[in-house]
Chains A and B, each alone.
Chain A
Amino acid sequence: EAQVTQNPRYLITVTGKKLTVTCSQNMNHEYMSWYRQDPGLGLRQIYYSMNVEVTDKGDVPEGYKVSRKEKRNFPLILESPSPNQTSLYFCASSLSRVGNSPLHFGNGTRLTVT
């Protein structure tokens, strides 16, 4: 089944403790991206990747890192999480960033930073 898989689904951590949220897609998609979703705000892009070893900042990249060493994986790294990073995070992939390819989203990771 074609899908985007995020792990974990839920994560509670403390301020400053490094964490990684994994994202994997099995559709051989070139484009992958991370979003955060907060109440009253639309999905906001954190980082995106056009292909292996190609990453770029989105609208809200501060406090986050990503890597794209393989086409299928795009982990999101929080080196020193803070309470304002408490949010619902989504990974998405698309055949390409151009044209009419739909975004395929994972089921989200709810992160709480205390």
Chain B
Amino acid sequence: KNQVEQSPQSLIILEGKNCTLQCNYTVSPFSNLRWYKQDTGRGPVSLTIMTFSENTKSNGRYTATLDADTKQSSLHITASQLSDSASYICVVSASRDGTYKYIFGTGTRLKVLA
């Protein structure tokens, strides 16, 4: 069964600190892995998209890594800011017979405190 599991479910950190969010997946056949940021009351916004051959991709203070062998990804946030408070969703795309399917994780809720 295709699944995407994220950890931790929630996380509280102080402003300025770094943090790492985890995503493990059992999705086959794998096409790409995406991280989205969802602010409260808003739709998810794309942060990064990584294909099988990409190990790391950055978007400002956000750096995503992908280990396709162990089927794990992480999202590292550097020097956190209050505006980083949001849910972070890992999404894995599976492809089969020319069609694509998105499998969503349940997200990690991050709270950054001043």
Contact = CB atoms under 8 A, between A and B. Distances in A.
B41 A108 contact: yes
Interface in B48-80: 49, 51
A65 interface: no
Contacts of B34: 102-103
A10 to B, nearest CB: 10
A79 B44 CA distance: 27
Given A42-B4, A107-B41, 10 more contacts: A42-B105, A44-B104, A102-B34, A102-B46, A102-B49, A104-B46, A105-B44, A106-B43, A107-B42, A107-B43
Contacts of A4: 43
Nearest to A103: B46
Give chain A's interface secondary structure class: loop
Interface of B: 4, 32, 34, 36, 41-46, 49, 51, 89, 91, 95, 98-107
Contacts of B101: 45
A44 B91 CA distance: 11
Nearest to B34: A102
Contact of A90 (B32, B43, B91, B106): B43
A43 interface: yes
B104 A42 contact: yes
21 contacts: A35-B104, A42-B103, A42-B106, A43-B104, A90-B43, A90-B44, A92-B43, A97-B99, A98-B95, A98-B98, A100-B32, A100-B49, A102-B34, A102-B46, A102-B49, A103-B34, A103-B102, A105-B44, A107-B41, A108-B42, A108-B43
A12 interface: no
A2 interface: no
Contacts of B32: 100
**Which of B41, B45, B100, B107: most chain A CB closer than 10 A?**
B100
